[in-house]
Amino acid sequence: MSKPLILVSNDDGITSKGIRVLVSIMKKLGEVVVVAPDSPQSGMGHAITIGETLRLYDEDIFDGIAAYKSSGTPADCVKLAKHYVLKDRTPDLVVSGINHGSNTSISVLYSGTMSAAIEGALEGYPSIGFSLCDYSSKADFSHVEEWVEKIARQVLENGIPKGIALNVNFPPKQNEDIKGIKVCRQADAKWQEEFSERFDPTGRKYFWMAGNFVNFDKGEDNDEWAIANNYVSIVPCQYDLTAYHAITQMNKNWDWEKLK
């Protein structure tokens, strides 16, 4: 029986610590192929490269595992994997990460990590995005490795509904063990940005974005609560952004006849 084919990508770049940890775990589960950005692509969302060259190079850094680095975005990497690297082979699993930093709540929309997973789901592949809520480049992943393996095994054995990607976030390492897993919704939260106006050495104006993450959610069934209480959060995500409840409300309450 052949091993499962597992495609690995990320948004922190092919040399990041997180992807090295993820590759080492996935090697236990199947045949691994890596296609990842050649540099950090955090916050790229689901951007793709249009009107510019897209480059792909072999990268021999994972001890005999086929690996490629791309000048493109995380979504580009999954597309290149499908159309060029894997060609007529279909991955049994797409995994992205492990991201250095949280992708809970609204951050899923900005996340390059999750864009790779969602691109996999778009293609019909079972897909997972893994993130550790620790932004340090030297973050300790040791406490999440067994959980990554368990979750990936579950998906390989049981599958995921078509069109769904799992957004998995882990709490940073603490003195106590992770309590367990919460399959939940994304929290009602947002980034409140601030823009600092600055000037470069030539006197030209530029802006530097900063801000704070604000959680409005008081519930206990969301990813922010899970992470704050030392649980792994798993949010099933879909690329269909249709607000179905709004269709009913708009057809009922809006007078479309006036627009004719």
Binding-site residues for a divalent metal cation sit at 11-12, 42, 99
Q: How far is CA 157 from CA 4, 55, 60, 86, 190, in A?
A: 10, 35, 30, 22, 35
Tokens for 174, please give them.
């603490």
Torsion of CA 90, 232, 37, 79, to 10 degrees: 30
Radius of gyration of the chain (CA): 20
Q: 2 near 29, Cβ under 8 Å?
A: no
Beta bridge partners of 170: 132
Q: 45 near 73, Cβ under 8 Å?
A: no
Q: Are strands 93-100 and 56-58 parallel, antiparallel or unpaired?
A: unpaired
Which positions make up the binding site?
11-12, 42, 99
Beta bridge partners of 195: 209
Nearest-5° Cα angle at 168, 225 to 48: 120
